[in-house]
Amino acid sequence: MPRPDRDRLPLAVGDERIVTAGPIAHGGHVVAHTDGWTVFVRGALPEESVRIRISEVGAKVARADVAQVIVASPDRVAVPCAWAGTCGGCDFQHVALPAQRQLKQQVLIDALTRFGGAEQDLDGMDTTVHELPGHPDGLRWRTRMRWAVDGATGLRAHRSHAVVAVDSCLLAVPRLDRAALPVGPVGTREVAAAQGSDGTAAFVPLDGKGRPLAPEGRLVERAGARRWRISATGFWQVHPGLAEALQQAIVDLGRPQPGQSWWDLYSGAGLLSAALADAVGSGGNVEAVEASATGVRDARRALHDAPWVRLHAADVAAWLAATGAALPRPSGIVLDPPRAGAGLAIVDALAKVGPDRLVYVACDPVALGRDVGRLRSSGYRLRGLRAFDAFPMTHHVEAVALLERAGSG
Ligand SMILES: C[S@@+](CC[C@H](N)C(=O)[O-])C[C@H]1O[C@@H](n2cnc3c(N)ncnc32)[C@H](O)[C@@H]1O
């Protein structure tokens, strides 16, 4: 049996090497090679010459941080935050914002090609990662924060539970920054901080298991003409420009028409259900499925004027098997699953339902790529894409993908 690692030289944590940084990979690092090892390097840019310090040696790959930049990329900038590199929140502070978006675009294309097999579909498609309005410097946009209170108060380190005693986070909106944190009751291990569209802030102390230690406040959020009152720990899009951008994207890509039937899976407080409800009108219907009872309750209040939206407090898999299977085939399905993606069992079930259009909202390109690959093998094709830089300074990117059943359209 050939041994892929037989030519490797020993490598240990703390070792330093000079390497030429290769392409960007998912997760915000670039790929480099040294001593027969593939090394994921944090803090470098493609084509830079850097001295790296090994931080982890795994069975297959090693990880490293940049110890010194020898030849810098023209896209390198001075980091605005003193904690960059230590705190786990940001990966791209050393990269100019337009170049951050290009790196995210590259990761998205790579994921849709390598995991999704969608190279042909992408030919000629606009894959630009768009800036969201309101924060041209990429700072002070986070309206949801989780501050750790664990020995020190601060934010978690990269790939660690250790707390870095960050005294100010440049991504947080000012009202949620460290200085604004109230002292929580005994037993507080985290504080969930959230700010609504009207600028009101709420702070919820949480215990070691993430349970609230005090009553949760509610926040006002707005998107389009509609208003929500969201529980402070309930889900809402973190970047203030993203909620309306997503509503617009699912309508532009999915083209829901008056009188049609659509499903909104993983519907949260009904942000995307609201856009679908307006598009299909009272002659159509929307089935919204969300596991969190709080999310469903928040949706019920916000969408009380659109009784053609039916809210289902259920796990998507269970709902598809029990209820969805018995419903007529919808014209389209919007799905916005958590970071891990819908997964192969769900996408197989959706392909079986067989709507003409699926609009997949994703915050993890690799999970999206995997699920697109499965849908392509069930006869769907990637027909549109809209990507947003909803998480500046980090490697994260939000993408909306339109999949159409071959022969429909
Ligand atoms: C990324 S959020 C999207 C929410 C909404 N579309 C929005 O834009 O505000 C994902 C949602 O899926 C819900 N969720 C996670 N796993 C689920 C499951 N197995 N079944 C139903 N909902 C689930 C979460 O509670 C969360 O509200």
pLDDT > 50? residue 334: yes
31 in Cβ contact with 22 (< 8 Å): yes
Assess contact for 390 and 242: CB atoms under 8 A.
Answer: yes
Judge if 315 and 401 occupy the same domain.
Answer: yes
Among 81, 87, 90, 363, the one annotated catalytic: 363
pLDDT value of position 85? 86
Where is mean pLDDT largest: 155-169, 178-192, 334-348? 334-348
Say whether both 304 and 198 belong to one domain: no
Q: Does the Cβ of 233 fall within 6 Å of ligand 1?
A: no
pLDDT tens across 359-382, in order? 999 999 999 999 999 999 999 999
State pLDDT tens for residues 149-183.
988 899 999 888 899 999 999 999 999 999 999 88
Q: What is the pLDDT of residue 92?
A: 97
Decide if 146 contacts 191 (C-beta within 8 A). yes
Name the residue of 290, 359, 397 to mutate for ligand 1: max ligand atoms within 8 A of Cβ: 290
CATH of residue 351: 3.40.50.150
231 lines ligand 1 (CB under 6 A): no
Range of the domain at 173: 144-222
Which pairs count as long-range contacts for 175-178, CB under 8 Å and 24+ apart, including other chains? 175/199, 175/201, 176/142, 176/143, 176/144, 176/145, 176/201, 178/147, 178/153, 178/154
**Are 244 and 208 in a shared domain?**
no
One domain, residues 337 and 368: yes
Q: What is residue 5's predicted lDDT score, i.e. its pLDDT? A: 56
Burial (Cβ within 10 Å: 0-12, 13-18, ≥19) of residue 3 = exposed
Q: Are 376 and 294 found together in one domain?
A: yes
Which helix (H) or strand (E) segment holds residue 167: the answer is none
- In ligand 1, the atom with minimum distance to the C-alpha of 315 is 20
Confidence of residue 409 (pLDDT cuts 50, 70, 90): low
Same-domain pairing of 251 and 125: yes
- Model confidence over 18-47: pLDDT tens digits? 999 999 999 999 999 999 999 999 999 999
- 295 Cα nearest atom in ligand 1: 27
Instruction: Mention every residue, 6+ apart, whose C-beta is less than 8 A from residue 267.
Output: 273, 288, 289, 290, 295, 299, 311, 336
Instruction: Assess whether the C-beta atom of 333 lies below 6 angstroms from ligand 1.
Output: no
Output the six-digit token pair for 337: 């699953």
Share of the chain above pLDDT 90, in %: 92
What number is the average pLDDT over the span 183-190? 91
Q: Which pLDDT value is given to residue 7?
A: 78
Rounded distance, CA 42 to CA 197, Å? 34
pLDDT band at 6 (very low <50, low <70, confident <90, very high): low
Question: In this structure, is residue 84 part of a structural domain?
Answer: no
Question: 341 burial class (0-12, 13-18, 19+ CB within 10 angstroms)?
Answer: buried
Measured between its terminal Cα atoms, the distance across the chain in Å is 49
Query: 3-state SS of the chain: helix, strand, coil percent to 5?
Result: 25, 30, 45
Q: What pLDDT does 192 receive?
A: 95
Report if residue 9 sits inside a domain.
no
Whether 333 and 392 map to the same domain: the answer is yes
Q: Whole-angstrom Cα distance, residue 29 to residue 56?
A: 14
Residue 251: the pLDDT is: 98
Known catalytic residue: 81? Answer: no
HSE value, Cβ hemisphere, 13 Å, CA-based, for 288: 28
* pLDDT of 256 higher than 90: yes
How many Å lie between the centroid of ligand 1 and the Cα of residue 297? 13
The SS3 assignment for 121 reads helix
Banded model confidence at residue 1, pLDDT cuts 50, 70, 90: very low
Nearest CA to ligand 1 atom 20: 315
Looking at residue 240, what is its pLDDT? 96
Contact partners, residue 224, CB within 8 Å, separation at least 6: 244, 247, 274, 275, 278
Residue 317 above 70 pLDDT? yes
Q: Let me know if residue 28 belongs to a domain.
A: yes
- pLDDT value, residue 159: 86
Q: Evaluate: CB of 237 within 6 angstroms of ligand 1.
A: yes
In the reported structure, the alpha carbon of residue 269 is separated from the centroid of ligand 1 by a whole-number distance in angstroms of 9
267 lines ligand 1 (CB under 6 A): yes
Q: How many domains does the chain have?
A: 3
Q: Is 3 domain-assigned?
A: no
**From the CB of 291, is ligand 1 less than 6 Å away?**
yes
Domain boundary among 178, 196, 222: 222
16 lines ligand 1 (CB under 6 A): no
Task: Tell me the C-alpha distance between 171 and 263, whole Å.
Answer: 34
pLDDT at 2 over 60: no
Closest atom of ligand 1 to 266 CA is 12
Do 252 and 348 fall into the same domain?
yes
State the CATH number of the domain containing residue 59. 2.40.50.140
Q: Whose CA is nearest to atom 25 of ligand 1?
A: 292
218 and 310 housed in the same domain: no
* In the predicted structure, residue 324 carries a pLDDT above the cut 50: yes
- Residue 138: its H or E element: none
Would you say the CB of residue 235 lies under 6 angstroms from ligand 1? yes
- Tens digit of each residue's pLDDT (9 = 90 or more) over 204-215: 999 999 999 998
- Is residue 401 pLDDT above 70, yes or no? yes
Provide the token pair at 247: 């509503």
318: left (phi over 0), alpha (psi -120 to 50) or beta: alpha
- Asked if residue 279 and residue 352 are part of one domain, the reply reads yes
The pLDDT value recorded for residue 183 is 87
CA of 313 to the centre of ligand 1 (A): 11
Instruction: Choose one of 144, 221, 235 to mutate for the ligand 1 pocket test, by most ligand atoms within 8 angstroms of C-beta.
Output: 235
Q: Is the pLDDT of residue 273 over 60?
A: yes
Task: Return the structure tokens found at 369.
Answer: 């790529």
pLDDT, the chain, mean? 95
Q: Are residues 253 and 186 in the same domain?
A: no
